[in-house]
Amino acid sequence: MTSSLIPENPLIVSPSLAATIGLEEAVMLQGLHERVRFKRGTVIDGYKWFNVERALLEELFPFWPAGDIQRIATSLRDKGIIVLAADSYLVSEQLQFALNEKVVSAVISPSPTAAPSTPSQPQTQVRAEPSSSRGRKISPDWRPDPEILKQLQQSHGIPVSFVEEKLPEFIVYWQERNEAHHSWNALLRKWVIERWRKEETLFAARERAEEIAGNWRPSEDALEILQRLGISDNFIEDAIPEFVLYWREQGDSSTTWNSKFVQHIKHQWARYCQTLEYDTEPKPINKDWQPSADAYDILRMANIDLDFARSLIPEFVIFWFDSKQLHHSWNSKFLQHVKYHWARRHQLQVDDNRGKTAEQDFVKLHTDRSWADGL
């Protein structure tokens, strides 16, 4: 059976494998295996190596940014399932890996561009510096053993430049503590690995999260969800500018703007429907008409300035009083009037950067489209 909700072949994940090594790791492992299982690879020291470019990985795992791909690949390596080359994926933009199993007939071939690590963890032993039985304090010009730099690069994908960047901080920290240790190399290794993991996490978070753009629109999936709930298209469209304006002023970053928008509209629509006055007969507006408390609650939920809304009441009442028109719900009419003007103000702020200063009069704004239609 085919469905428009499944536009492509799914990734198949073994439940037992996911339970053993983790769901993300199982998805990546099986995805990589499907990608390279018919490839010849390059055999080095009995391991078959493969290079997968970033473009192919993004096609294979479009739901993971680069930081997550590095993190999950590192987790697979730490669990002894794959072997990674020295270069970090975030730096080289290609994943060089081998399954941690020997090829039956190994043929020595030229090594890949980056020297791969051997599967055993750790690859090299941390060599302790000569010291007394009580250890020694770190000196200002202390340098790590080259073997440590090699191990960090090959076993953990940490570039030497990152170690060099963190070294002064490491030295100052331990100088201030004034402690003696037998192996500063071992301490540096632990120090650098912890900071590299934090750096990867922050990188992944920054890559996923982004501020909302001035021309942001909800995705087709989000619009379809709202339409299935019976929410008016006009209601949705007029809520977009107010949503964008609020979050741009907040300056927040998010990875789930569509989800936020769906929840925002669902709450507004539910409250809006509760405020509709289902009179059997339409009626004219009174000269002393004021919005109800529920109407103000809806405007507050929409993050619309209530003082701005109150400033529109006099002209709203005068216009509709003079027009002699009848409506079932003046609250709903006022809500759409305020939302339209609020959206218009936002659009003028955007257009001002392009030199646009157009302004429409009150009558034209209400003759373009009536919010009473289609609700």
108 or 333, which is more confident: 333
For the chain, percent of residues with pLDDT exceeding 70: 75
Residue 284 backbone phi and psi in degrees, to 5: -80, 165
**H-state helical runs in the chain:** 15-21, 23-36, 54-60, 66-78, 89-92, 146-156, 160-177, 184-208, 220-228, 233-250, 257-275, 293-301, 306-311, 313-323, 330-352, 362-368
Write the CA distances from 275 to 53, 139, 247, 328, integer angstroms.
Answer: 56, 73, 26, 12
Residue 200 backbone phi and psi in degrees, to 5: -65, -40
pLDDT digits (tens, 9 = 90+) for 204-230: 655 566 888 888 999 888 888 888 888
Identical fold for domains 15-99 and 136-208, yes or no, is no
268 or 312, which is more confident: 312
Counting Cβ atoms within 10 Å, is residue 110 exposed (0-12), middle (13-18) or buried (19+)? Answer: exposed
Q: Centre a 10 Å sphere on the Cβ of residue 81 and count the other Cβ atoms it contains.
A: 21
| pLDDT at 114 (0 to 100) | 44
CATH class of domain segment(s) 15-99: mainly alpha
pLDDT digits (tens, 9 = 90+) for 75-98: 888 877 888 876 667 777 788 888
304 or 91, which is more confident: 304
CATH class of domain segment(s) 136-208: mainly alpha
Break the chain into its structural domains and give their ranges: 15-99, 136-208, 211-368
Averaged over 246-250, what is the pLDDT? 84
Per-residue pLDDT band at 4 (split at 50, 70, 90): low
pLDDT digits (tens, 9 = 90+) for 127-142: 444 444 456 889 888 9
Lowest mean pLDDT: which of 211-215, 254-258, 263-267, 369-373? 369-373
| pLDDT at 309 (0 to 100) | 87
Mean pLDDT (the chain, rounded) = 75
| pLDDT at 123 (0 to 100) | 41
Q: Give me 246's structure tokens.
A: 């609020």
Averaged over 303-319, what is the pLDDT? 87
